[in-house]
Amino acid sequence: MIPPGATIGILGGGQLGRMMAIAARRLGYGIVGLDPQADGPLGQVVNRMIAADYGDLSAVRELASLSAVVTLEFENVPAESLSAIAEMVNVAPRPQVLATTRHRVREKSFLRDHGFPVTTFGAARNLGELRAVLDAVGYPAIIKTCEFGYDGKGQVRVDAPDEVASAWEKLGTNDAIVEAVVPFLSEASVICTRAADGRGSTFPVFENEHRHHILDITRMPARLDERLRRRARDMALAITDALGVVGTLAVELFVVPSASNGPSLLVNELAPRPHNSGHVTIDACRTDQFEQHIRAICGLPLGSTDPLHGGGAMANLLGDCWQQGEPDWAATLGSDPGLKLHLYGKASPAPGRKMGHLNLAGMDPETCAKTLIQARDRLCPKATP
């Protein structure tokens, strides 16, 4: 066990790192961070910030020397840096977990080889291989870069053979995955936390709505029958065990139609860290996803993930809300006494940039979601006609 009072290192200076740090602070831990931007969301709440590139081996060794354990808020840290840290102190998740989950073909292959349901896929390293894979996968399909893609970036949809060459040129990669388009009914996610001794817990299943490939609304619990919710949680625990994760793993799922026994599940992607869809847990669960992650990586007993009020919802706040001026905070916070505002401390808003989120806990997640959407509409000043 790493007791409170010790220092936790965090690689990555964005909002996930910030919320990890806030949870760790409540438990009595110190925080040292590393990110190229010293005064970003994480930098505002740490004991010390190392401003350096993630590939700077001297800087990452300094981070390790100051930390009892190191964790990450995103996957794309150079393997050499992770190895350098792991030689000095535990890293959670382990470098082997990141090697699998950061690369889409390795991730999909791991899931398929361990018997978890995934969409049809193939790998392509050049235009000729891409055409051959598309002949096997079929149209329509999504072509994605194997690394560094998020929120819809690094992917292109192709509906016909005459679109293939331009799609490949647009991606500009020599390492891609091709996935068959899935006619899903809804999108869901499960956040699972696993301790070093193998104990695991999951939060209620989340139902997610995206807008322009960015998460917009999350409902907790998902509007699925109990059989499917149990199946989703069991699958997430099994994946977490198969990977040997210590800490948090988010399992993103498609709910797809099935000829028998109602809808079924396909695994879309994995994220070995706290996840945007789990932000609702901060105000709606006995233990939120960030505290649970800190408990796991420090060897503390895991907390209860039960909802406090039956359920809840979250609405993301993007930089678009600032395009017509400062948002109307008073009107939003006055619209419902239970509404909670979380801002990330980012210096400047931009369209599509995640600036914060709104949470609301309640028995009926659909009512919570509608209330949040109305509150968010009040938040953004309208353009002058």
Spell out the long-range contacts of 128-136 with Cβ–Cβ below 8 A and sequence spacing 24 or more.
130/164, 130/168, 130/176, 130/178, 131/161, 131/164, 133/178, 134/158, 134/161, 134/164, 134/178
Name the DSSP letter for residue 151. T
Position 151 scores a pLDDT of 60
What type of residue sits at position 357?
H
With cut-offs at 50, 70 and 90, classify the pLDDT of residue 365.
very high
Position 384 scores a pLDDT of 41
Domain with CATH 3.30.470.20 in the chain: 186-379
Query: In this predicted model, what pLDDT tens digit does every residue of 140-173 receive, in sequence order?
Result: 999 999 987 666 678 899 999 999 999 999 998 8
Q: Are 286 and 308 in contact (CB under 8 A)?
A: yes
- Hunting for tokens 């940039």 — which residue is that? 353
CA terminus-to-terminus distance, the chain = 60
Domain with CATH 3.40.50.20 in the chain: 7-92
CATH of 7-92, one of 3.40.50.920, 1.10.10.10, 3.30.930.10, 3.40.50.20: 3.40.50.20
Does the domain at 120-180 match CATH 3.40.50.720? Answer given as: no
Query: In this predicted model, what pLDDT tens digit does every residue of 274-328 receive, in sequence order?
Result: 999 999 999 999 999 999 999 999 999 999 999 999 999 999 999 999 988 889 8
What mean pLDDT, rounded, does the chain reach? Answer: 94
Position 258 scores a pLDDT of 84
CA distance 183 to 255: 9
Domain with CATH 3.30.1490.20 in the chain: 120-180
- Overall fold of domain 186-379: D-amino Acid Aminotransferase; Chain A, domain 1 (3.30.470)
CA distance 192 to 243: 12
- Burial profile 100-127: b = 16 or more Cβ within 10 angstroms, e = fewer: bbbbbbbbbbbbeeeebebbbbbbbeee
CA distance 280 to 258: 30
